[in-house]
Structure 1
């Protein structure tokens, strides 16, 4: 994809995910929360130049470090979401102020990682960003689904978790 197309795809995905996070919505714990993240990961892994051949060790280290950071951040992000069961038994989620703080933190960390890569003269493709965003969303979705399934044992009341 071209640079403009990559930027547009990233902005659409971030806008889509952010808008869904900050409003109350009913979730289905059986839904395919992993579909969009796996598509993003596949897009990321499809790049033949995901690892900069001129700076292979630094590129691998940067990518591995990015993945570790986003896996931790995805887990934290999943815990910032408020989850509750409505009186009809449906499970609902809504982002909190902590969710907004997690988004801001993720953006700052991504900028820092990009700056580190630039300082090391490592070419960073948009596909690496696809891969890390996919991993982030996959972990976040898994944590939220795990927490929501924990409500299954609770009585059908207006209880809130998180």
Structure 2
């Protein structure tokens, strides 16, 4: 059962990341409510999934320090990838004055590496629990953190572009 949940979570993660990458490669305004709604949804799903993941694990044994540390490290890594990707996004002002952004090939590569690293962290987290139910549950929270950091830094860069 845990394997099917892992595979389903990975497929959902791949679909979400593919949609995010596709969206980021398009020229679009820096400011808007769309990213905020997506971040809110991913954050909410992430918190709910982690709570259920933790509840599933503690049925079998208490969470260990390694599991907690790896989960926290995963979110720090998410922030780091968000910061790295933000530097690869082109930001400029249109003649009308609107701030625009567009991801690059490097942005895409960093997304793919980020997803691979997260999948590896999921496996490691699950190895520490001995149950295999927690790692995949961190996916939405990971995506919320990485997108939030990237969005915040791109918005800062846009504010500095004259």
TM-score, normalisation: structure 1: 0.78
Q: How does 1:1-162 map to 2 (within 5 A)?
A: 3=5, 6=9, 9-23=12-26, 25-47=27-49, 48-51=51-54, 52-53=57-58, 54-57=61-64, 58-120=66-128, 121=130, 123=132, 124-151=134-161, 154=162
Q: How far is 1:11 from its partner?
A: 3.6
Paired with 2:30 and 2:108, the residues of 1 have a C-alpha distance of 23
Paired with 1:49 and 1:30, the residues of 2 have a C-alpha distance of 32
Q: Give ranges in structure 2 of 5+ residues lacking alignment.
A: none
Task: Tell me which stretches of 4 or more aligned residues in structure 1 moved more than 6 Å.
Answer: none
Structure 1 residues 122 and 138: CA distance shift in structure 2, 3 A: farther
Say which structure is richer in helix: 2
Count of equivalent residues: 150
TM-score, normalisation: structure 2: 0.78
Structure 1 residues 140 and 122: CA distance shift in structure 2, 3 A: farther
Paired with 1:131 and 1:64, the residues of 2 have a C-alpha distance of 11
